[in-house]
A and B are shown apart, each in its own frame.
Chain A
Amino acid sequence: MSHSVITVENLSKRYIIGHQRSKDDGFRHVIEDAIRAPFKWLRSSQERKKRQKEEFLALQGVSFQVKQGDVLGIIGRNGAGKSTLLKILSRITEPTTGKISIDGRVASLLEVGTGFHPELTGRENIFLNGAILGMSRVEIKMKFDEIVAFSEVEKFLDTPVKRYSSGMYVRLAFAVAAHLEPEILIIDEVLAVGDTQFQAKCLGKMGEVARGGRTVLFVSHNMAAVKQLCSRLIFLQNGKLHLDADTPSVIDEYLHGITYDQGTWVRKQAIPSKDGVFFKALAVVDSKGRETGVLSSTDKFSVDINFVATAVILDAQIAIRFTNQDGIVAFTTSSTDYKRGFTVIQIGAHHFTVAFDATFFPSGKYHLQFAAHVSGKVLFDLVDLSLTIEETGTLRTVCRDDRLGVVNPVFEWREE
């Protein structure tokens, strides 16, 4: 049970960036260096120091252990070193210092459809991709029907994949990967593909893999997926291991690391001179008319939006997205909900107000993202705010907190 299958000790990875000249180490430079070499001592020591400084530690002194059957999530912001860690674990690149010992067969999925060839048919690509991921031909043959069924592309098996829609392509690619059966599986963000339905299917399949007793390392930005799959999380920050603990506490730390203005926001810079719709001031106002960032869970509140349109823009809309502390989008509301009048925003200053009822929200911290945009086309302005809904303790709301779900709507119950 407590058998460690992966032990990472003091792992570091250094990349040399810039290197005083372009990253592309041209052949000319090698020749140049060879000619210059005898004169190297002429260069001042300061310059030499500068050259040494141009290195980048993608990982520094990371240590952790993974036990048999663990599903470990690795989270962190962009550039925190997650991908580097996975690349080292999957032996794609070498560490600079440190040691890793792994017990068991490893398969890593840093991308779906690695090695897919556009000219080959779906059938051919299943075999090729399977081999690339480390499956034997016999193994692929055995699972072939299963893979095809999972991918839902039976009809197009003998069509070159370059004619596939991107959805089909991704489904086929994931299907192959999903049928890998290593003892240790390393996965990077593969869920960020396909439509929602297929994502759910992938997530389910990964759950199955994990339940089969296999050890899984999973890197993702998707807090919902991480929360569903992983029992333990590692939080990387600037190449260092920031936190290694159970899932809820790491997610909490991860999401609270980001701080937004509480409740109110006022534009500090001038309104841009280009055509568009731009926010001037935003505020959350409670039922007593006070601007606040903390609300009682039984209160009613409104959101005031002051903005300026510098041009008449067809179909422009203002939207607010509520994301809860688990990183899950609770809902989005938009000015298009108010049908008459807001579809064309005239030039000048405007003031919208949206009314909410706090009982609708489970208590906790929310991230409100305000967007002024034309759906799917242009994003004019984006502002983040945070809002806390505090439990104020009526029986109704206490009960509500034990329910699963991201919102707490109240529907009518009757006995008849």
Chain B
Amino acid sequence: MVALRDCRHGFQAGFGGSLIWPNSEGYLHKMSRLIIEAGRSEREYWRDLWRYRELFYFLAWRDLLVRYKQTFVGVAWSLIRPLLTVLVLTVVFGRFGKMPSGGSPYPLLALCGMLPWQFFSSALSESGSSLVSNSNLISKVYFPRLVIPASSVITSFVDFLITALFLVIMLIWYRVLPPPHVVLFPVFVLLAFAASFGAGLWIAALMVKYRDFRFIVPFIVQFGLYISPVGYESNVVPSRFRLVYSLNPMVGVIDGFRWCVLGGEHVIYWPGMAVSFAAVTAMVASGIWYFRKTERTFADVI
């Protein structure tokens, strides 16, 4: 038997020894200082937003990927939905209602209304519920929260582009040549985009705290289809109401779409357009303001 006289050798350096951390000094180069304080309106917020632009792409990409997984016809859904709606609108408003179509084929008139409306309504409901459905992200990771509703607007925008392709096919089918001012089309797309984004921000931020909006949004969408000139032309509205009517930003957007794409008798009521523009601007500005104001508490209330 060996006497275990000196037990103090050996094992210290074993398992425990390998886990002693050398405090290296190699990491001191150009560090950015971050200050966290109550109510601090971070100046770096917009810079952060830029830094997280990739996350923005990724979230939009995720939503697009997931959207039609395990569906039978897949992307075709983004064509089928507007197609059927246009069909119904044409039959109901055009055939039965005998609404004026301003010289254009009724399906084209309806599609020009449907295209921005569908974009607006789906963007509104998607971005409205986006924060709540991503609550696991919000309570576990930091990033500028604005990324979430913005990326869901993008998702709906892709559907919009697909449907726009359908509009081009319809134009060819009916042999309608858009007027020269069709170059202004992107302006109205941008207006539609801004309207959806602004309204989406409001709904998203409100829904975090008040889940009531989950019930309000489908109602707005359903109601909006009739108070926006989707299935009919906005000039059927009595002229003394037109300014008030134009407070609905989609009025400006849809009128603009028809003016650009169909031209002819579809003229823009400019004072109304100005009102719509102002309404959209106010919506986006106030949406961002309210969102930024409540954003800090999202993780606590969600």
Judging by beta carbons under 8 Å apart, are A108 and B141 in contact? yes
Minimum distance in angstroms from A132 CB to a CB of chain B = 6
In chain B, residues 1-47, which have Cβ atoms closer than 8 Å to a Cβ of chain A? 1-2, 4, 7-8, 11-12, 14-16, 19, 21-28, 31-39
Contact between chains at B25 and A213 (CB < 8 Å): yes
Determine if A124 and B65 form an interchain contact, defined as CB atoms under 8 angstroms apart: yes
Partner pick for A98 among B16, B38, B66, B301, CB 8 A cutoff = B38
Q: How far is the CA of A413 from the CA of B4 in the complex (A)?
A: 10
How far, in angstroms, from A403 to B15 measured CA to CA in the complex? 11
The yes or no answer to B54 lying at the interface (CB within 8 A) is yes
User: Cβ of A128 < 8 Å from any Cβ of B?
Assistant: yes
Structural contact, A117 and B23, CB atoms closer than 8 A: no
Q: A99-B37, A131-B58 are in contact. Are A213 and B24 (CB under 8 A)?
A: yes
Interface size on B, residues (CB 8 A): 58
Q: Is A337 an interface residue (CB 8 A)?
A: no
CA distance in complex: A170, B279 (Å): 48
Tell me, yes or no, whether A137 is within 8 Å of chain B by CB. yes
Residues of A within 8 A of B37 (CB): 95, 98-100
Within 8 A of B (CB), among A203-260: 207, 210-214, 228-229, 231
Q: Is B23 a contact of A70 with CB atoms below 8 Å? A: yes
Structural contact, B21 and A71, CB atoms closer than 8 A = yes
Contact between A101 and B33 (Cβ–Cβ < 8 Å)?
Answer: yes
Complex Cα gap A399–B297 (Å): 57
CA distance in complex: A91, B24 (Å): 26
Residues of B130-155 contacting chain A, CB below 8 A: 134, 136-143
Do the beta carbons of B141 and A132 come within 8 Å of each other?
yes
Of A90, A93, A103, the residue contacting B32 (CB under 8 A) is A103
Interface residues of A in 326-379 (CB under 8 A from B): none
- A25 in contact with B210 (CB, 8 Å): yes
Q: Which residues of A contact B1 (CB under 8 A)?
A: 413-415
Are A69 and B54 interface neighbours, CB within 8 A? no
B299 at the A interface (CB under 8 A): yes
Q: Are A213 and B141 in contact (CB under 8 A)?
A: no
Do B2 and A114 touch across chains, with their CB atoms under 8 A apart?
A: no
Interchain nearest-CB distance for A193 vs B (Å) = 15
**A1 and B21 form a contact (CB under 8 A):** no
Cross-chain contact B143 with A132 (CB below 8 angstroms): yes
Q: How far is the CA of A80 from the CA of B8 in the complex (A)?
A: 40
Per-residue CB contact flags for chain B residues 273-300 toward chain A (1 = under 8 Å, else 0) read: 0000000000000000000000011011
CB distance from B30 to the nearest CB of A (A): 10
Q: From residue 187 to 223 of chain B, which have CB atoms closer than 8 A to chain A?
A: 209-213
A110, CB-defined interface residue at 8 Å? yes
The closest CB in chain B to the CB of A95 belongs to B38
Complex contact A68–B23 (CB within 8 A): yes
Interchain CB contact under 8 A, A100 and B35: yes
Tell me if B34 and A26 are in contact (CB < 8 A).
no
Give the distance to chain A from B131, nearest Cβ to Cβ, in Å. Answer: 14
Asked if A30 is an interface residue, CB under 8 A from chain B, the answer is: yes
C-alpha spacing A211/B291, complex, angstroms: 41
Q: How far is the CA of A88 from the CA of B38 in the complex (A)?
A: 10
Max chain A CB contacts within 10 Å: which of B32, B34, B143?
B34
Q: Is A407 an interface residue (CB 8 A)?
A: no
User: Cβ of B136 and Cβ of A69 under 8 Å apart?
Assistant: no
How far is it, in angstroms, between the C-alpha of A137 and the C-alpha of B36 when the chains are bound? 27
Residue A192 interfacial (CB < 8 Å)? no
| Interfacial chain A residues near B140, Cβ < 8 Å | 92, 110-111, 114
A390 at interface by CB-CB < 8 Å: no
**A27: CB under 8 A from chain B?**
yes
For A111, list chain B residues within 8 Å (CB).
136, 140
Within 8 A of B (CB), among A77-125: 87-106, 108, 110-111, 114-115, 117, 119-120, 124
Measured CB to CB, the closest approach of chain B to A97, in angstroms, equals 6
B27–A106 touching, CB < 8 Å: no
Q: Does any Cβ of A come within 8 Å of B62's Cβ?
A: yes
A276 to B296, CA, bound (A): 51
What's the Cα separation between A289 and B191 when bound, in Å? 89
Q: Judging by beta carbons under 8 Å apart, are A229 and B19 in contact?
A: yes
B79-114: CB near A (< 8 Å → 1, else 0) gives 000000000000000000000000000000000000
Q: Which of B7, B26, B142 contacts A402 (CB under 8 A)?
A: B7
Residues of B within 8 A of A26 (CB): 210-212
**Shortest Cβ gap from A249 to chain B (Å):** 17
Which of A103, A213, A404 is close to B14, meaning CB atoms less than 8 Å apart? A404
Q: How far is the CB of A94 from chain B (nearest CB, A)?
A: 5
Chain A residues within an 8 Å CB radius of B23: 1, 67-70, 213
Residue from the list A70, A114, A120, A402 in contact with B62, Cβ < 8 A: A120
A299 within 8 A of B: no
Q: State how many angstroms separate the Cβ of A10 from the closest Cβ of chain B.
A: 11
Q: List 30 A-B contacts (CB under 8 A).
A: A68-B25, A69-B23, A87-B299, A93-B297, A94-B36, A94-B38, A98-B37, A104-B31, A105-B31, A114-B137, A115-B137, A117-B66, A119-B69, A120-B65, A120-B66, A124-B62, A124-B65, A132-B58, A132-B143, A136-B54, A137-B54, A207-B21, A211-B24, A213-B26, A213-B27, A402-B8, A402-B12, A404-B11, A404-B16, A413-B2
Closest 5 CB pairs of A and B: A213-B24, A399-B7, A69-B23, A27-B212, A91-B142
Given A91-B36, A100-B37, A183-B27, list of 4 further CB < 8 A pairs? A92-B140, A93-B299, A111-B136, A403-B11
